[in-house]
C-alpha cells in the first residue's frame, strides 16, 4: 500500500463488469486504481469506463502491469480459462486476487489457497458479489431444513458462457450442506428429452435460462404440503455487485488463504 491506499489493478477492465469496477475503485476512498488490463489497449482506462481521463492506461499486458504498477490486489472479471492464468500470474508476485469470474474449477481454488497460505496473503473467489444474493443463499440453507423438496431456476443474459451459474451451484451446495434430505421429483422419473430435469448438484435440480434482457436472476422453489416458498434475487444493475467487490478488496488485505464466496465476510 502507498499513502495508506490499497493499490488495485483490474483485468477485464473494458468489459461491462470491469468498467463498473474501474468507476467504483476510482471514487472509493482508501482505494487507488493503479492498473487496468483489457484485450485492446487504450490511452486511458477512465475514458473507456466513461468517467474521463484518470491517468491510468488500459494495457493488454498483465505481467507488465503486475511488475511495474505493483498492485496490492488484482480484481478479475474475465473468462474462466483466462482468469486461471491471471490469478497464477498475480500469486507468483504476491498480489492478492479478487475473482468474480465464474466457472473456476475447484482444484484451482484449492491450489490457490495453498499458495496464498505459503505467501501469507489473502484471496477470494466469489460466484456472486451482490449482498442480496449472498443472503438469498443463506436463507435457502435455512429453509431447506423445513422444505427438503427444492429446485433452482437461474436466468442470465445470453452472453453468459457457463451454465449452471456459479451462484446456482453455490446455492445448491449450501442447501446440501444443511444436512436436509434433499428431494426433487420422483426417484423413478424418466426424462423424455435429455436435460429436461436440469443439472443435478447434490440432488438439487438447477434449470438455466439464457435470454437477452436479463442481467442476473435466481429463484429457489421449496415445495411443501399445500404450499410453495419462493426465494428470489434480481440483479437489475451491475452496481449491485460493487459493495461486495469493495468489501472483498479491503478484506483480502487482512487474512491468509483463499476464500470461496462472500459469506465469510458477512458473519
3-state helix, strand and coil shares in percent for the chain, rounded to the nearest 5: 35, 25, 35
Domains of the chain with bracketed CATH? 6-125+239-266 (3.40.50.720), 131-236 (3.30.360.10)
Report the C-alpha gap between 102 and 19 in whole angstroms.
Answer: 18
Q: What are the residue ranges in the chain where pLDDT is below 50?
A: none
pLDDT at 77: 95
Annotated catalytic residue within 70, 149, 157, 160: 160
Question: What pTM did the predictor assign?
Answer: 0.85
Q: Give the per-residue SS3 of 67-84.
A: HHHCCCEEEECCCHHHHH
pLDDT at 2: 60
Report the C-alpha gap between 242 and 113 in whole angstroms.
Answer: 24
Which residues are paired to 217 by β-bridges?
155, 234
The pLDDT tens digits of the residues spanning 38-92 come to: 999 999 999 999 999 999 999 999 999 999 999 999 999 999 889 999 999 999 9
pLDDT at 69: 95
Is 156 annotated in the active site?
Answer: yes
Averaged pLDDT score across all residues of the chain: 94
Annotated catalytic residue within 156, 170, 207, 233: 156
Is 160 annotated in the active site?
Answer: yes
The region, left, alpha or beta by phi > 0 then psi within -120 to 50, assigned to residue 103 is left
Beta-strand runs (E) in 135-256:
149-156, 199-201, 204-210, 216-224, 227-235
| Cβ atoms of residues 132 and 233 within 8 Å | yes
Q: Are strands 204-210 and 199-201 parallel, antiparallel or unpaired?
A: antiparallel
Burial class (CB within 10 angstroms; exposed 0-12, middle 13-18, buried 19+) of 15: middle
Report the C-alpha gap between 7 and 46 in whole angstroms.
Answer: 16
Amino acid at each position: 500500500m502507498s499513502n495508506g491506499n490499497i493499490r488495485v489493478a483490474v483485468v477485464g477492465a473494458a468489459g461491462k463488469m470491469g468498467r463498473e469496477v474501474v468507476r467504483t475503485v476510482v471514487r472509493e476512498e482508501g482505494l487507488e486504481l493503479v492498473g487496468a488490463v483489457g484485450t485492446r489497449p487504450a490511452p486511458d482506462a477512465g475514458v473507456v469506463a466513461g468517467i474521463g481521463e484518470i491517468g491510468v492506461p488500459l494495457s493488454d499486458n498483465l505481467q507488465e502491469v503486475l511488475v511495474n504498477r505493483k498492485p496490492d490486489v488484482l480484481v478479475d472479471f474475465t473468462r474462466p480459462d483466462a482468469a486461471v492464468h491471471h490469478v497464477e500470474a498475480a500469486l507468483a508476485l504476491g498480489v492478492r486476487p479478487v475473482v468474480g469470474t465464474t466457472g473456476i474449477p475447484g482444484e484451482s481454488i484449492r491450489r490457490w489457497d495453498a499458495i496464498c497460505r505459503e505467501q501469507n496473503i489473502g484471496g477470494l473467489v466469489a460466484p456472486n458479489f451482490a449482498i442480496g444474493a449472498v443472503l438469498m443463499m443463506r436463507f435457502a440453507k435455512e429453509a431447506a431444513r423445513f422444505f427438503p423438496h427444492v429446485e433452482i431456476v437461474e436466468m442470465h443474459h445470453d452472453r453468459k458462457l457457463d451454465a449452471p451459474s456459479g451462484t446456482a451451484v453455490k446455492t445448491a451446495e449450501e442447501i446440501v450442506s444443511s444436512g436436509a434430505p434433499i428431494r426433487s421429483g420422483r426417484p423413478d422419473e424418466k426424462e423424455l428429452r435429455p436435460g429436461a430435469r436440469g443439472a443435478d448438484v447434490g440432488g438439487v435440480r438447477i434449470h438455466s435460462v439464457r435470454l437477452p434482457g436479463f442481467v442476473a436472476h435466481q429463484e429457489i422453489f421449496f415445495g411443501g404440503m399445500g404450499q410453495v416458498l419462493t426465494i428470489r434475487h434480481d440483479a437489475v444493475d451491475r452496481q449491485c455487485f460493487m459493495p461486495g467487490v469493495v468489501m472483498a478488496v479491503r478484506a483480502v488485505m487482512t487474512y491468509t488463504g483463499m476464500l470461496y464466496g462472500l459469506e465469510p465476510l458477512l458473519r
